[in-house]
Amino acid sequence: METIAYLGPEGTFSELAATAFTKSAERFPYRDIPSCLQALAKKEVDGAAVPLENTIEGSVNITLDHLVHKHDLPIVGELAIPIAQHLLVHPKNADQCMETVYSHPHALAQCHDFLSKHLADAEWMHASSTAKAAQEISEDSGLKRAVIANRLAAKKYGLTVAAENIHDFANNHTRFVLLSTRNVQEDTLREMRPHVNKKTTIVVTLPSDYSGALHQVLSAFAWRKLNLSKIESRPMKTGIGHYFFIIDIDHEYDDVLVPGALEEIKAIGCGARLLGSYPSAVIHEENEMESTV
């Protein structure tokens, strides 16, 4: 893989994840997650690293929905990285009282307890990414804004860390997926961490709302002893009560078991689409991450 898209600007968690997936690829920042996926679909880049799920906040719906409704971009790798959130200020404002806290909505949500306790009177304002918030306050000390972002953004934009590790739960991780239309699985496997598992992600739609439909789908996995690590319903966007299911299977797409389960699901009238079968790894500690400064 030579080029990889990520949610920019430089210094986001997405850039940290893109670097952890592949150090050799040239990284290209995009303004939002749909633009990263669009860039890959239009072949402006070979890959895209996008967030899928956070320990505290749950699924990143914009990624899930665009992967299901708008594109056919295979997942070729998955990496969960530690998310340490810090409160950053412009060095000229180190001793000032801040009127606003600015960050990506997920970062603000991950620090809700801290904000309620220490910055309850400030306005909590959304930015397109943690690093975008950091970049903006670095350019104007008159803003009287604190941001929530990572240490990389603090270094990149010359900001002072006013409070460290302000996320509400210690084990804060975000799962990122690497998408690519190229067959890069072997490369990513080699570059990824030693503890690599194989996973398969599928999307299932039910033919109509009848009793036991989901039970029938799940039994196709149960009797094959295929463990599911996640099942989540999301709206089809066609009407209230219409859902699709994203299912993560703790197994590679082999010759027999997973294809057999998908055929069985289709035979009972459900839709089943493969989003990818890929290596999956976890980076537990922040000091295991490569810095990109």
Among the residue ranges 104-112, 117-125, 223-231, 265-273, the one whose residues contact ligand PRE (CB under 6 A): 104-112
What CA–CA distance (Å, rounded) separates 185 from 170? 31
- Check: CB of residue 189 under 8 Å from CB of residue 278: no
E strand or H helix at 271: strand 271-282
CB of 211 to ligand PRE, least distance (A): 37
User: 29 to 58, contacts with ligand PRE by CB under 6 A?
Assistant: 51, 54
CB of 11 to ligand PRE, least distance (A): 8
Residue 107 touching ligand PRE (CB under 6 A): yes
CB of 96 to ligand PRE, least distance (A): 24
Which one of residues 19, 138, 174, 277 is an interface residue with ligand PRE (CB under 6 A)? 174
Nearer to ligand PRE, 131 or 204 (CB): 131
What CA–CA distance (Å, rounded) separates 233 from 225? 22
Residue 135 touching ligand PRE (CB under 6 A): no
Residue 130 touching ligand PRE (CB under 6 A): yes
Q: Residues 74-93: x/- map of binding to ligand PRE (CB under 6 A)? A: ---------x----------
Q: How many residues bind ligand PRE (CB under 6 A)?
A: 15
- Check: CB of residue 31 under 8 Å from CB of residue 127: no
What CA–CA distance (Å, rounded) separates 184 from 198? 15
CA 107 to chain centre: 12
Tokens at 165, concatenated: 């590790």
Instruction: Kindly provide the b/e burial profile for residues 52-75, where b requires at least 16 CB atoms within 10 angstroms of the residue's own CB.
Output: bbbbbbebbeebbbbbbeebebbb
Which one of residues 14, 22, 135, 280 is an interface residue with ligand PRE (CB under 6 A)? 14
**Chain positions contacting ligand PRE, by CB under 6 A:** 7, 12-14, 51, 54, 60, 83, 104, 106-107, 129-131, 174
